[in-house]
A and B are shown apart, each in its own frame.
Chain A
């Protein structure tokens, strides 16, 4: 014995660690042990190598770094004795994973051990290979494993079969080599070999259609016979679980039959009888029996249609659903999701039970049930089901409310039979769980409200009532404030009273009170307050008697710490004080928002993420604090809208212009509202800054023509432009300067650079509901083909993005060079940004303009998100 070895026994070390009272003590013990082990490694100590490795494994399990022991595993594996190899392979599997380069060094030892005369050593090598092999090792050692599939000892054969699974998963090309040996395993009697052989065949069928064909043709009868034998086999103690012989084998056979039966009527026919037998004869008192039934039901659902069997399967699920065991109910819900595709009617019969499961105390069951209910809803049952869900929303756990709200909103939107019902349900959801409602949902609600002109009065009164009881629900407050601003007069005068309503008396000052509450409540966020401010401004023209009070409230916000509110209150104050003559026109109701355009855009933003973005939802509050830029495409398709349905409403355009000025980026979204004179003015403005039509795109003529029709509003605008952008000299006469300001806010105008020479306007290259990417262009003098692009990414969602990665691809005539990004974490809600520089060299500069495909990947709440798009609207001549 080496007297210098400081080794304690494994058992002693574990005791010492367990005796530690604090984490610091534990660290000290571990540090001391690690030091001793390192010393032993340095001395190349042989006697205690396996003991040291065992200790390291324990230390590893506690979460300490143990990479220094990796080479020790290899040494132990390379030694001759079984005990050393056994612990060496265990260490290899625990301390290493397939990505470590060290692993390659073990390939040779593995190869030797796979050919070893001792079958247990072969077993160890197979086990290690099956658990951690990499693609290279799989390729190198596949022939050995293939040979071992025919080894004399069944315990080696079964290990080789599972090892082959790992190999074909790593290198699917190797699958064809395994088809023959694998299918011969299906004829074995040894259960271990049978189980692993069936498993191997399943994985082969998944990666290779050739294997699937082969097994379907040659083995299906054998498999059916094996299943029949095992299902009818007398009691055998070795494999018995709860009165069933080897449920594991049952389940694997059923799975393989499922794969073979899918899409093949003959194969399905072949297995009908045995499936019926398993479905009817299997004992369902214990878990093992239920596991088999569950698998059998899934197989029946997946193979080609057989009416009788399906009825049997649905009945089993019905029994499962009424089972008292939560596990069984969970799998029943899981399976009903699949059954709904096959037989929706049968699943509908269990609706009441499923609805009960939504209210279960178990989160896993609730989640499954909710998803199932979501699939069950149709036009005929949407009302009662929504009622149930909303009632449950009132009592559900906080953490479940998010999911539940999203599902209810989606159902109500999808199946709503009439508007009043839709509005009612949404109001209920908003007042119950307004904080969980997503932005696009309440945006959609506002669009619907604005379209339902006969319900304006009803809605605003209902919202007022709801607002009185729950001011904590952010999105309820927003919708309420918006409606009060728009339809405040209807609230006071009880206009459009419906029979179902109870009359309420609200005075003008009550109404202002309500909005004041929203503006003063500190828990509400900037958007809500900004909306409240606009509502107040609007009320000032609806209720002349309250005008002074409103002015006071607005003036108070002049000192707001939030720039947005401060600036607006100054501007609004100007409107109230100095522009009485245009005020009433300025504060008219919003024009009706076009539902078709809105839903079209929304759908577009969900499915295709091309460079045109979805500004539409954001313009609902006149763009306040909702920086949403839409590229030129929006303007273009809008101008065609105008041509189709021209209408004019005096002062609406002014609101747009306010939006333009206050948050420049939102300007184009303002213009994407439905046809009205205001947009024409904006287009007119655009045309001022643009160059001759010769080089403008196809719809430029629209812009120009509309500009000619609208000389009159332009005059109006001059006064306003100066007022809104430069409040200090608001009374000064129209000057060209503020107009240019407006233009600056418009962002992407492809034609603009003609005038500005080499300075290119920045471009919102990509925008989705969660992310915005802006490009700034510059050129180096003397190298006209190369463009330097600075990409800036801004996060529009309330979640932080991690592992942020931007990728871009260009066609062959372009060359792209990407510099590293400034960071890979993007803070939430626009609190910071990532910048990344790109160099693009255009070999056909002047002939072709830039085009780029982009891909942005990031992690939000640990979920991978991928956004893709194409940018076609680069300034020309880059």
Chain B
């Protein structure tokens, strides 16, 4: 299973963290510090796996961002690389050639998408189209709610004029 997902920028800034196993706040900070130290310093041609505290961390760099997932010793590292790529492709489709800034200002959207791909540290959906459809449906629910709210407040505003 995937124990956690980290998105770290090249400067070591955390862009997204998702914990599927239990870590205290202190441990989380320590894990992030330790791993960004290891991963950001690795050369470009090296393999994408780091052995760490009896686990394996699979990471992949996309532009300025490192996507990292921590898995058990006997999990399939190559598959995790595909899962990372799967997530990146979905982000890319959603934002339209995604960049780091998109993920900073819309970090909650990145989380929503991740929640449609992984639950409990396991893969949920292998179809990018389905994920996109589900996210779009939920976004439109939010939009309708907003419109309703604003129209109600308009009505109230007009009524109280």
Contacts and interface: CB of A to CB of B under 8 A. Distances in A.
B is a partner of A: yes
Interface of A: 11, 14, 18, 54, 57-58, 61-63, 65, 81-83, 86-87, 90, 93-94, 97-99, 120, 123, 126-127, 130-131, 155, 158-159, 162-163, 165-166, 169, 191-192, 195-196, 199, 238-239, 241, 246-249, 251-252, 287-288, 290-291, 294-295, 326-331, 334, 361-365, 367, 862-863
Contacts of A334: 77
B79 A295 contact: yes
Most-contacted residue by chain B among A83, A126, A165 (CB, 10 A):
A83
Residue of B14, B25, B129 contacting most chain A CB atoms (<10 Å): B25
| 6 shortest interchain CB distances as A-B pairs | A291-B78, A326-B47, A162-B119, A130-B119, A362-B46, A166-B120
28 contacts: A57-B107, A61-B15, A61-B16, A61-B107, A63-B14, A82-B138, A82-B142, A83-B142, A83-B146, A93-B115, A120-B137, A126-B119, A127-B119, A131-B120, A162-B122, A163-B119, A192-B124, A192-B125, A195-B123, A248-B82, A291-B76, A294-B78, A327-B48, A327-B78, A330-B47, A363-B46, A364-B51, A365-B47
A126 B76 CA distance: 26
A249 B126 contact: yes
B127 A192 contact: yes
Given A58-B107, A90-B111, A120-B137, A199 B123 contact: yes
B120 A162 contact: yes
Given A18-B104, A62-B14, A131-B119, A326 B126 contact: no
A130 B19 CA distance: 12
Interface of B: 14-20, 22-25, 29, 43, 45-51, 53, 76-79, 81-83, 86, 104-105, 107-108, 111-112, 115, 119-120, 122-130, 134, 137-138, 141-142, 145-146
A30 to B, nearest CB: 14
A14 B78 contact: no
Contacts of B14: 61-63
Contacts of A196: 122-124
Contacts of A290: 78
Most buried by A among B17, B86, B141: B141
Contacts of B142: 82-83, 86
Contacts of B46: 326, 361-365
Contacts of A169: 120
Nearest to A237: B129
A82 B120 contact: no
Given A82-B138, A162-B124, A248-B79, 12 more contacts: A63-B29, A93-B18, A99-B24, A126-B119, A131-B120, A163-B119, A163-B120, A238-B128, A247-B82, A327-B81, A362-B43, A863-B53
Contacts of B49: 327, 330, 364
Nearest to B74: A298
A80 B46 CA distance: 50
B115 to A, nearest CB: 5
A465 to B, nearest CB: 39
A241 to B, nearest CB: 7
Contacts of A82: 138, 141-142, 145
B53 A120 contact: no
Nearest to B23: A97
Contacts of A90: 108, 111-112, 115
Contact of A287 (B82, B123, B127): B82
A86 B119 contact: no
Contacts of B23: 97
Nearest to A134: B22
B82 A241 contact: yes
A248 B126 contact: yes
A247 B108 contact: no
Determine chain A's interface SS by DSSP, over half rule.
helix
Given A295-B79, A330-B49, A83 B127 contact: no
A363 B45 CA distance: 12
Contacts of A11: 105
A61 B17 contact: yes
A18 to B, nearest CB: 7
B82 A327 contact: no
A155 B134 contact: yes
Nearest to A286: B82
B124 A159 contact: yes
A172 B96 CA distance: 43
Contacts of A252: 123
A290 B128 CA distance: 21
A576 B154 CA distance: 106
A239 B137 CA distance: 21
Given A130-B119, A365-B47, A191 B127 contact: yes
A14 B127 contact: no
Contacts of B145: 81-83
A155 B130 contact: yes
B137 A248 contact: no
Contacts of A863: 53
Contact of B77 (A62, A126, A331): A331
User: Among the interface residues B24, B45, B111, B123, which one has the most CB atoms of the partner chain A within 10 A?
Assistant: B123
Contacts of A14: 104-105
A567 to B, nearest CB: 44
A803 to B, nearest CB: 12
Contact of A248 (B83, B108, B129): B83
Contacts of B141: 82-83, 120
Contacts of A364: 46-47, 49-51
Given A61-B14, A131-B20, A287-B81, A238 B29 contact: no
Contacts of A365: 46-47
B126 A239 contact: yes
A135 to B, nearest CB: 11
Contacts of B17: 61
Contacts of A61: 14-17, 107
